[in-house]
Amino acid sequence: MIHNPEMECMSREDMTKLQTERLIKTVKTCYEKVPFYRKKMDKMGVKPEDIKSIEDIHRLPFTTKHDLRDEYPFGLQAVLHSEVRRIHASSGTTGKPVVDTYTENDLEMWAEGAARVMAAGDVGPGDTVQVSYGYGLFTGGLGAHDAAAMRGAVQLPTSAGNSEKQIMLMKDFGSTVLACTPSYALHLAECIDKSDKVNIEDMKLRVGFFGAEPWTEGMRKELEEKLHIKAIDIYGLTEMCGPGVGGECECQNGTHLWEDLFYPEIINPDTLEPCAPGEFGELVFTSLKKEAMPILRYRTRDLTRLIYEPCKCGRTAVRMDRILGRSDDMLIIRGVNVFPSTIEAILTEFPVYSPQYFITVDRKDNEDMFDLDVELREEYFSPNPSKQMPYIKPLYDRIVSVIGIKPNIHILPPNTIQRSMGKAKHVNDKRKF
């Protein structure tokens, strides 16, 4: 089901026209209301009048996470504080949080972005959407909540955690939709598997909206099989609004980005030049409709590519490939670039392993050490190391052939790797740089 056919299926020509109109307005607001952007544009010798079409976007300055932290908390705000209705923030790992503020219209726009994704899973009246993303400053909880409301569904705000109760409510209230991180969904699935009180057959779940962290096709298969659902990828970031900057459609074949709201570019992160169509690079967004905190050419650090071929669903909104990872999550081990999600993708090729993993990187005698904790599934596990050997060798060989470095693999008993309620932590890099 398409939530807003006019916007989601607009012809390329009309979309370019709309994007141009909205860009011109956004740039003017940024220049007139946000000293940070006026300074940056003056320094580059660009005036709002120079931006005549969406193609001129390349003349505008980039915005980085660093800039947002420097302007903490409200330096990028373009409206009076009396016009603001909500504040969210993403904690990040270091320093000040990244803040986003919203006017009434911004909240409506955000809810619509996420509602478009839920509509692709046919969410509507009669559905009960169990929102197991965290509620709070994190955008996941309230983002999914408002989208469910816009679709006319029942909102069940369980937030993240307390898995036993989540599962009880899922059964008793007949939740049909689950919204949470894919790692938490996997944890819930494992809890249902283990439970002697409930069975997946007792549940009415039919679709899940999973995002906030990279996940793989293998993980999709696992979640779909274990939870008896269709697993749909939802993408977003606090700086643009939260979940719902884009999402998969029923074809589950790339994430449609809502180009009428956020203009996407792919750039080479080293040269900052645009990448050729279809090439992998860093995703950059310019907000086209945000009022409280409009943002020009925000460097997300997410690495992906854009797919312009038409989608079978009828939506014309450009698609983005799965996110390989963030440039700042990429590990360099013995000189080789490694994305944690590559390990997940490899693990899910082996039915004997669960998709749970933890990477520890350390340096000994000037050499990088790469330790990988994995879990065998219950039915394959034996505490006797000699019985584990036949499973280690194929995984080891596959990792060496895909990423070219040799891991020290440790097989742990089932359910021992720490489970996450929100974004999973897969890496401990102990090296001092």
Using CB under 6 A, list all residues that contact ligand DLL.
90, 133, 139-140, 143, 211-214, 233-238, 242-243, 300, 302, 323, 326
- Phi then psi dihedrals of residue 289, to 5 deg: -135, 0
User: Would you say 137 and 91 are in contact if contact means Cβ atoms under 8 Å apart?
Assistant: yes
Shorter beta-carbon distance to ligand DLL: residue 41 or 234:
234
Which run of H or of E encompasses 369? Answer: strand 367-376
Shorter beta-carbon distance to ligand DLL: residue 121 or 236:
236
Q: How far is the CB of 206 from ligand DLL (least distance, A)?
A: 19
Q: How far is the CB of 68 from ligand DLL (least distance, A)?
A: 11
* Closest CB to ligand DLL: residue number: 211
Shorter beta-carbon distance to ligand DLL: residue 133 or 381:
133
Shorter beta-carbon distance to ligand DLL: residue 235 or 262:
235
Token representation of residue 393: 């060798």
Residue 6 to residue 240: CA distance in whole angstroms: 22
Q: Cβ contacts of residue 181 below 8 Å, gap of 6+?
A: 133, 140, 160, 210, 211, 212, 213, 420, 421, 422, 423, 424
Which run of H or of E encompasses 257? Answer: strand 255-257
Cα dihedral sign, 224-214-284-288: positive
Shorter beta-carbon distance to ligand DLL: residue 184 or 358:
184
Q: How far is the CB of 374 from ligand DLL (least distance, A)?
A: 22
Let me know the angle formed at the C-alpha of 45 by 260 and 240, rounded to the nearest 5 degrees.
30
Shorter beta-carbon distance to ligand DLL: residue 147 or 374:
147
Q: How far is the CB of 105 from ligand DLL (least distance, A)?
A: 20
User: Would you say 225 and 192 are in contact if contact means Cβ atoms under 8 Å apart?
Assistant: no
Which run of H or of E encompasses 27? Answer: helix 12-33
Q: How far is the CB of 217 from ligand DLL (least distance, A)?
A: 12
Q: How far is the CB of 344 from ligand DLL (least distance, A)?
A: 12
3-state secondary structure at position 405: coil
Number of neighbouring beta carbons within 10 Å of residue 311: 18
Shorter beta-carbon distance to ligand DLL: residue 57 or 68:
68
Shorter beta-carbon distance to ligand DLL: residue 27 or 71:
71
User: Would you say 116 and 145 are in contact if contact means Cβ atoms under 8 Å apart?
Assistant: no
User: Would you say 144 and 115 are in contact if contact means Cβ atoms under 8 Å apart?
Assistant: no
Residue 213 to residue 304: CA distance in whole angstroms: 13
Q: How far is the CB of 314 from ligand DLL (least distance, A)?
A: 22
Q: How far is the CB of 151 from ligand DLL (least distance, A)?
A: 16
